[in-house]
């Protein structure tokens, strides 16, 4: 990781956390475990977003602790110790000494000393905060020596992470720009009969060329596959008269981007594809307009839902009143074709903390510094027997997704370099062939 976010900003985040937790507290955040792919082969490692947020530390087998002794901060990273034999096989280890000279911490220790160290430290504090469930071994050690209530630091951290700093926004702009270029390249190489995997390869190749990685598994769904919300096998060819839905974004220094575009692989929309595409685009633009500082979370969903419900009636897909189409709580007939939310928070996690309607909770008010996605869609799976739609729309799925920064002066679309009008798309698709 490059030092894009300054050391002093990380210390500031730690101080902010200290100011929010109870006095005389110890906060413990274990880093993610590596996941086994097969025998001794692992999936690429991704550090825990809270650990990245507070310390920029991305090496596995580590634990971050931050204590608040009456307002005085002590941040400690427990990390793997240097070990020549291991380093020969697995790469250089930074070790506690290296941590101390280059990372935003007050002290460091070997992870091998964690149990001994924490045993004596726990007795000095009145309150313990721990994110439970990340590393069961760490949870067990803590529960062996701490028999009082364990508090969850995420209550405070999620609130902090919801509002992005200037340096975080800069990183997200880079991620958005790389992802936009990847989509443009994928449009340019599209042709009738292209494999979904070819589009995936083009996108992932661009991410790698730009020293970034996927922030989630890319969705490349042609034809009917575009109607499967989390389709990711990406293993079929796309027919000449079909569209492809591509939902792919990269991450830069841990920060995600998240873009969806849908285009006809022939480079020419058919009239039914155009009908649906134009409706979804209209809903997306209405939802982006609703991303105003101070407005409730539901407003963007309301904006897109109203456009879609009205449009479905106008296209003859729904034969009911507008009220029945929309429903009293955005749960009307239109939900058969638009079954997800209009957006989510974006940050270190692609579905970032702090946002969205959860159960009965209305979600946060939009505030300057938040970054949200806006992604309405319509899906008409041909195999569904619970719906009946005019035949010309059967098998069409369209989603359009942009990343939007909330500011005092209105929404700023961070992905606006990624084309989405029908004219732009028709001129780009196939242009690299
Ligand atoms: Mn998304």
Mean per-residue pLDDT, 133-144: 98
Confidence band of 12 (pLDDT split at 50, 70, 90): very high
Q: Output Rg (C-alpha) for the chain, integer angstroms.
A: 24
Please confirm, yes or no, whether 247 is among the known catalytic residues: yes
Please confirm, yes or no, whether 115 is among the known catalytic residues: no
Alpha carbons 360 and 353: distance in angstroms, whole number: 17
Which residues contact residue 142 at a Cβ distance below 8 angstroms, ignoring those fewer than 6 apart?
A: 28, 118, 122, 128, 130, 150
Give the Å distances, CA to CA, from 378 to 152, 221, 235, 334, 350.
Answer: 38, 14, 22, 9, 21
Please confirm, yes or no, whether 340 is among the known catalytic residues: yes
Nearest in space to 344 (alpha carbons), one of 289, 413, 290, 403: 403
Mean per-residue pLDDT, 275-282: 98
Report the separation in Å between the CA atom of 259 and the middle of ligand 1, taken as the mean of its atom positions: 7
Report the separation in Å between the CA atom of 91 and the middle of ligand 1, taken as the mean of its atom positions: 34
Please confirm, yes or no, whether 401 is among the known catalytic residues: yes
pTM, two decimals, is: 0.96
Please confirm, yes or no, whether 301 is among the known catalytic residues: no
CATH architecture of 7-161: 3-Layer(aba) Sandwich (3.40)
> What is the percent of the chain where pLDDT is above 70?
98
Please confirm, yes or no, whether 216 is among the known catalytic residues: no
Report the separation in Å between the CA atom of 103 and the middle of ligand 1, taken as the mean of its atom positions: 32
Catalytic one of 247, 333, 402, 426: 247
Catalytic one of 230, 314, 331, 408: 230
Cα separation of the two ends of the chain: 36
Q: What is the pLDDT of residues 207-243, one digit of tens each?
A: 999 999 999 999 999 999 999 999 999 999 999 999 9
Report the separation in Å between the CA atom of 257 and the middle of ligand 1, taken as the mean of its atom positions: 9
Q: Is the dihedral of CA 375, 175, 423, 285 positive or negative?
A: positive
**Given this model, what pLDDT does residue 4 score?**
78
Please confirm, yes or no, whether 181 is among the known catalytic residues: no
Secondary structure class of 218 (helix, strand, coil)? coil
Where does CATH 3.40.350.10 sit in the chain?
Answer: 7-161
Which residues contact residue 312 at a Cβ distance below 8 angstroms, ignoring those fewer than 6 apart?
A: 279, 318, 325, 333, 334, 337, 378
Alpha carbons 426 and 405: distance in angstroms, whole number: 28
Structure tokens at 50: 């809270």
**Given this model, what pLDDT does residue 1 score?**
46
Mean per-residue pLDDT, 95-104: 96
Percent helix, percent strand, percent coil in the chain, to nearest 5: 40, 20, 45
Report the separation in Å between the CA atom of 258 and the middle of ligand 1, taken as the mean of its atom positions: 5
Q: What is the pLDDT of residues 17-51, one digit of tens each?
A: 999 999 999 999 999 999 999 999 999 999 999 99
Please confirm, yes or no, whether 379 is among the known catalytic residues: yes
Q: Tell me the residue ranges of DSSP E strands in 317-423.
A: 371-374, 377-379, 397-399, 402-405, 412-413
Alpha carbons 194 and 220: distance in angstroms, whole number: 11
For domain 163-428, the question of CATH label 3.90.230.10 is answered with yes
Mean pLDDT estimate for the chain: 96
**Is 418 within 8 Å of 258 (Cβ atoms)?**
no
Catalytic one of 340, 357, 384, 416: 340
- What is the DSSP pairing of strand 107-110 with strand 63-69? unpaired
Report the separation in Å between the CA atom of 30 and the middle of ligand 1, taken as the mean of its atom positions: 27
Confidence band of 361 (pLDDT split at 50, 70, 90): confident
Structure tokens at 30: 């274990």
Where does CATH 3.90.230.10 sit in the chain?
Answer: 163-428
Alpha carbons 253 and 3: distance in angstroms, whole number: 9
Catalytic one of 401, 402, 403, 426: 401
């Amino acid at each position: 990781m490059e030092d894009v976010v300054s050391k002093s900003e990380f210390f500031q985040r730690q101080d902010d956390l200290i100011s929010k937790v109870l006095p005389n507290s110890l906060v413990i955040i274990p880093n993610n475990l590596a996941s086994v792919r097969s025998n001794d082969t692992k999936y690429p490692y991704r550090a825990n977003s809270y650990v990245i947020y507070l310390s920029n530390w991305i090496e596995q087998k580590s634990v971050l602790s931050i204590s608040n002794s009456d307002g005085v901060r002590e941040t400690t990273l427990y990390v793997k110790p240097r070990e020549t034999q291991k380093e020969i096989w697995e790469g250089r280890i930074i070790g506690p000494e290296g941590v101390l000279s280059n990372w935003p911490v007050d002290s460091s220790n070997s992870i091998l000393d964690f149990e001994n160290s924490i045993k004596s430290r726990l007795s000095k504090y009145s309150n313990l905060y721990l994110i439970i469930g990340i590393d069961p071994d760490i949870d067990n050690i803590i529960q062996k020596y701490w028999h009082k209530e364990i508090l969850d630091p995420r209550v405070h951290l999620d609130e902090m992470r919801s509002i992005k700093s200037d340096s975080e926004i800069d990183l997200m702009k880079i991620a958005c720009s790389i992802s936009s270029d990847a989509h443009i390249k994928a449009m340019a190489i599209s042709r009738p009969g292209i494999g979904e995997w070819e589009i995936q390869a083009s996108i992932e190749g661009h991410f790698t060329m730009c020293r970034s990685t996927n922030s989630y598994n890319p969705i490349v769904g042609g034809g009917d596959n575009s109607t499967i919300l989390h389709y990711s096998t990406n293993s079929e060819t796309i027919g000449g008269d079909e569209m492809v839905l591509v939902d792919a974004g990269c991450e830069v220094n841990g920060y995600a981007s998240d873009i969806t575009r849908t285009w006809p692989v022939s480079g020419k929309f058919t009239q039914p594809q155009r009908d649906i595409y134009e409706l979804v685009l209209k809903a997306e633009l209405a939802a982006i307009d609703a991303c105003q500082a101070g407005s409730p979370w539901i407003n963007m969903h309301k904006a897109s839902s109203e456009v879609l419900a009205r449009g479905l009636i106008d296209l003859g897909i729904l034969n009911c009143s507008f009220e029945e189409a929309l429903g009293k709580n955005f749960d009307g007939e239109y939900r058969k074709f638009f079954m997800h939310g209009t957006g989510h928070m974006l940050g270190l996690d692609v579905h970032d903390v702090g946002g969205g309607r959860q159960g009965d909770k209305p979600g946060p008010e939009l505030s300057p510094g938040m970054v949200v996605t806006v992604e309405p869609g319509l899906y008409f799976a041909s195999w569904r027997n619970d719906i009946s739609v005019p035949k010309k729309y059967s098998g069409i799925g369209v989603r359009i997704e942009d990343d939007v920064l909330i500011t005092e002066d209105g929404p700023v679309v961070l992905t606006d370099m990624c084309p989405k009008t029908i004219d732009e798309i028709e001129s780009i698709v196939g242009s690299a062939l």
